[in-house]
Amino acid sequence: MGAGVMKRGGGRRGRGGGRRQMSDINVTPFVDVMLVLLIIFMVAAPLLTVGVPVELPKTAAAALPTEKEEPLTISLTADGRVMLQKEEIVLSDLIPKLRAIAAEREDDKVFLRADGAVSYKTVAEVMGALNAGGFNRIGLVTDPGGPTLDGQGN
């Protein structure tokens, strides 16, 4: 990479006569490649989240710790669609699909993302379907910064 041989008559001369090894390493290409990779990962990281646009309600709840397995996410959009990860699914097909997924997964945790405009009835029905499908640990996903309801905040 950076080691080479110098020709006789040019540059430094050592005791051995004409040729002497260079011991300098050029790290500039390495730094360039690392910076390009850093930029690629910085741009790509936000794109790895579930991409269903949902206007989440704001609450004072803290974020849940992350797990080793990719979390299963159900999203309810304002226009009434039910999304399993990024795939739209009919509500009547939700329980059989969840049972098949639960049989393959180690964790029974699921995240439910519901638009703030979705009715409580719909959210409760989907939560019942999640429970019937084998997922007993349901995490409701919200945006931070909402009212604390303790008289101290908004």
Residue-wise pLDDT for 71-105, tens only, equals 788 999 988 889 888 888 888 888 899 888 888 88
CA distance 65 to 80: 29
Residue 132 covered by a domain: no
Residue 23 covered by a domain: no
Residue 72 covered by a domain: yes
Average pLDDT over residues 47-75: 71
Task: Note whether 37 and 58 are within 8 A (CB).
Answer: no
| Sequence-separated (6 or more) residues with CB below 8 Å from residue 70 | none
User: According to the model, what pLDDT value does residue 37 have?
Assistant: 92
Residue 126 covered by a domain: no
User: Which residues in 73-89 are b (16+ Cβ under 10 Å) and which e?
Assistant: bbbbbeeeebbbeeeee
Q: Is the pLDDT of residue 153 over 90?
A: no
Residue 110 covered by a domain: yes
User: According to the model, what pLDDT value does residue 92 have?
Assistant: 85
Task: Note whether 109 and 64 are within 8 A (CB).
Answer: no
Residue 140 covered by a domain: no
Q: Is the pLDDT of residue 42 over 70?
A: yes
The boundaries of the domain holding residue 72 are 68-115
Report how many domains make up the chain: 1
Residue 83 covered by a domain: yes
Q: What is the DSSP string of 85-150?
A: TTEEE-GGGHHHHHHHHHHH-S--EEEEEE-TTS-HHHHHHHHHHHHHTT--EEEEE-EES---SS
User: According to the model, what pLDDT value does residue 36 have?
Assistant: 93
Q: Is the pLDDT of residue 53 over 60?
A: yes
User: According to the model, what pLDDT value does residue 152 have?
Assistant: 65
Q: Is the pLDDT of residue 139 over 80?
A: yes
Q: Which range is most confident: 7-11, 16-20, 43-47, 117-121?
A: 117-121
Give me the torsion for CA of 67, 137, 92, 72, rounded to 10°.
0
Residue 57 covered by a domain: no
At 8, is the pLDDT very low, low, confident or very high (cuts 50, 70, 90)? low
User: According to the model, what pLDDT value does residue 11 have?
Assistant: 52
Task: Note whether 133 and 98 are within 8 A (CB).
Answer: yes
At 3, is the pLDDT very low, low, confident or very high (cuts 50, 70, 90)? low
| Burial of residue 118 (number of CB atoms within 10 Å: 0-12, 13-18, 19+) | buried
User: According to the model, what pLDDT value does residue 51 have?
Assistant: 62
